[in-house]
Chain A
Amino acid sequence: MKRLAVIAVAAAFVLVLGSAMLDLAPTAIDLRGPVMANLVQSGVEHPVTAVLLNYRGYDTLLEIAVLLLALLAILAVTDAARPVAARPAHPVIETLARLAVPLMILVAVYLLWAGAFRPGGAFQAGAVLAAAAVLLHLAGLLPGWRAPRPRLRLGLAAGFAVFLTVAAALLTQGALLQYPPEAAGGLILLIESGLTLSLALILAGLFLFLSRDEAAP
């Protein structure tokens, strides 16, 4: 009886959601035109990158800030004193990781570069780099991280710092993160490079700071 009631309520909810989807009003503002029209000034040729790093750059700025904050929270709750050792993995996995990681770094750099004119960009490149670090850790080649030393701290904060510096330097332009059109391409590449490095370290840090070899005495 109870089960039937749950199924009935769930089915009714699905129907309501479905009907709501069907009579959604068409969006009042269509931004596709303006986005494509201003693409020439944005410094990049791919509309998604233009939106992410030029038209709505402050969203991306806040995104990297949130990720950095998440990592800081993880650093605050993990104890740094625990010994961390890389477990030796199967030699086949180790060899595979050794072969795959250089390719992954190459793909990451390509994605970063390609972001200017086709799908790609800092987030994807950073995620690939972070995946390479996780792979190395799982293959026993890269030990887990303890408390970050100054160089790692610098890397973690670099993306946000570069982004903030550019934003502060451009405040005289009038609006936040309004790039001068002739310098926009270079500035976006600079910001994206910083973002890639920091994102890779932050996303890898989510894994490597939390990773503890509990089996070790």
Chain B
Amino acid sequence: MTFAFDLLLASALLWSAVRTLTTPRLDRAIVLFIVFGLLMALAWARLAAPDIGLAEAAIGAGLTGALLLDAYGVLRRRRERP
């Protein structure tokens, strides 16, 4: 059961990483990056390193995701306004 979960987690990690890099739309890439960060936090928890998992969830997925989304918003507003 845990092996199946780990396998699912690893493949979801790889899938979200590939999709983050290959998806053409920037907003989707950012959301996928956040998903990747959350899956990564789960992976750290499974690797018995909950400290890193907490830091990854809070900083890697949360704050970095918010910063990226903010930057995307600024970019889009600049593009709309000539």
A121-B51 contact, Cβ under 8 Å, with A214-B77, A214-B78: yes
A134-B81 Cα distance, complex, nearest whole Å: 26
Question: Within A80-130, which residues are at the interface with B (CB < 8 Å)?
Answer: 111, 119-121, 123-124, 127-128, 130
Chain B residue nearest to A46 in the complex (CB): B51
Number of interface residues of B (CB under 8 A): 16
Question: Within B18-59, which residues are at the interface with A (CB < 8 Å)?
Answer: 50-51, 53-55, 58-59
Please tell me if the beta carbons of A215 and B70 are within 8 angstroms of each other in the complex: no
Contact of A210 among B54, B70, B81 (CB under 8 A): B70
Contact of B70 among A111, A128, A207 (CB under 8 A): A207
A119-B51 contact, Cβ under 8 Å, with A127-B58, A131-B58, A206-B63: yes
Does B10 sit at the interface, judged by CB under 8 A? no
A111-B54 contact, Cβ under 8 Å, with A214-B74, A215-B77: yes
SS class, residues of chain B in contact with chain A: helix
Does B14 sit at the interface, judged by CB under 8 A? no
Please tell me if the beta carbons of B66 and A207 are within 8 angstroms of each other in the complex: yes
Please tell me if the beta carbons of A207 and B63 are within 8 angstroms of each other in the complex: yes
B76 to chain A, nearest CB (A): 10
User: Which residues from chain B contact A121 at a C-beta distance below 8 Å?
Assistant: 51
User: Which residues from chain A contact B67 at a C-beta distance below 8 Å?
Assistant: 206-207, 210
Query: Which positions in B face A, CB cutoff 8 Å?
Result: 50-51, 53-55, 58-59, 62-63, 66-67, 70, 74, 77-78, 81
Query: Which positions in A face B, CB cutoff 8 Å?
Result: 48, 111, 119-121, 123-124, 127-128, 130-131, 134, 138, 203, 206-207, 210-212, 214-215
Q: 9 smallest A-B Cβ distances: which pairs? A: A127-B58, A119-B50, A124-B54, A119-B51, A48-B51, A131-B62, A127-B59, A134-B66, A214-B77
- Apart from A119-B54, A138-B66, A210-B70, what are 17 other A-B pairs with CB-CB below 8 Å? A119-B50, A120-B54, A121-B51, A124-B51, A124-B55, A124-B58, A127-B58, A127-B62, A127-B63, A128-B58, A130-B63, A203-B59, A203-B63, A207-B63, A207-B70, A214-B74, A214-B77
